[in-house]
């Protein structure tokens, strides 16, 4: 069964939408060690290493670790705690794919680097790398960061660069495109909100159509950065 790891502040409507797709919801817990806007963001607190391994920070809620273990995952700890401010809060916020690992490698947690040392490493100045980037397929991405776009294009990827803004992330001015969505299968990208209410929504919809991806709106509202939607699978459910 598929499991969606989401910010604990997800709305009831969004939960109902996911459960309607037969996806179990696992809430990423509150963490007081970072500022309010990102205190429940999965892409801040975890990094999915493989189909059987996940890395979390040492101070994450113990019950969350137990839930991951029940789902059949090996849970690994980062070498350091996640700090309150940048760059101490980005140690796990990397774009980690089957082909490559993209992050500001100066600040990547050393335990995380040890687990991905066999992949191609791409270094960028943007620390909130996963927040800034949405995975569309192995070869296609959305991002708000020009350096990330250039780095991904160096691998032959197709990348749509989106200007900042028009994405909710209270109490900050705006969030990032990567935090608004996640692939729930190879042809469906689920969004926290609707592209119809996003100023660059038509550009995104055209790009998704180009790559045979259908957007699915968990809620008819403005796009909201909830720290990404991670889908994992469990054979125990």
**Per the structure block, which two tokens stand in for 202?**
């038509």
The model's pTM is 0.97
Beta bridge partners of 103: 123
What is the pLDDT at residue 104?
Answer: 98
Q: Which residue has the tokens 């729930």?
A: 184
What averages of pLDDT result for each successive group of 10 residues across the chain (237 residues)? 98 98 98 97 98 97 97 97 96 96 98 93 96 97 98 98 97 96 97 98 98 98 98 87
- Domain range annotation of the chain: 2-233
Burial of 106 (0-12, 13-18, 19+ CB in 10 A): exposed
Helix (H) or strand (E) holding 160: strand 158-161
**Hey, how many other C-beta atoms are within 10 angstroms of the C-beta on 169?**
20
What is the pLDDT at residue 235?
Answer: 77
CATH number of the structural domain 2-233: 3.75.10.10
């Amino acid at each position: 069964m598929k499991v969606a790891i989401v910010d604990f502040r997800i709305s009831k409507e969004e939960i109902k939408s996911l459960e309607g797709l037969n996806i179990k919801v696992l809430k990423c817990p509150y963490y007081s060690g970072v500022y309010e806007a990102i205190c429940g963001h999965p892409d801040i607190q975890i990094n999915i290493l493989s189909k059987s391994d996940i890395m979390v920070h040492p101070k994450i809620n113990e019950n969350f670790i137990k839930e991951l273990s029940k789902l059949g995952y090996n849970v690994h700890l980062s070498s350091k705690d996640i700090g309150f401010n940048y760059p101490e809060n980005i140690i796990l916020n990397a774009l980690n794919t089957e082909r490559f690992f993209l992050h500001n490698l100066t600040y990547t947690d050393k335990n995380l680097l040890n687990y991905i040392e066999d992949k191609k490493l791409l270094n960028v100045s943007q620390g909130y790398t996963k927040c800034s980037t949405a995975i569309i397929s192995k070869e296609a991405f959305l991002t708000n960061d020009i350096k990330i776009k250039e780095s991904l294009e160096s691998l032959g990827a197709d990348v749509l660069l989106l200007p900042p803004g028009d994405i909710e992330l209270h109490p900050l001015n705006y969030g990032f495109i990567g935090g608004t969505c996640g692939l729930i299968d190879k042809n469906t990208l689920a969004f926290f909100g609707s592209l119809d209410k996003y100023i660059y929504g038509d550009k995104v919809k055209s790009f998704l159509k180009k790559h045979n991806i259908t957007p699915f709106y968990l809620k008819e509202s403005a796009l909201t950065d909830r720290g990404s939607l991670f889908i994992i699978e469990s054979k125990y459910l």
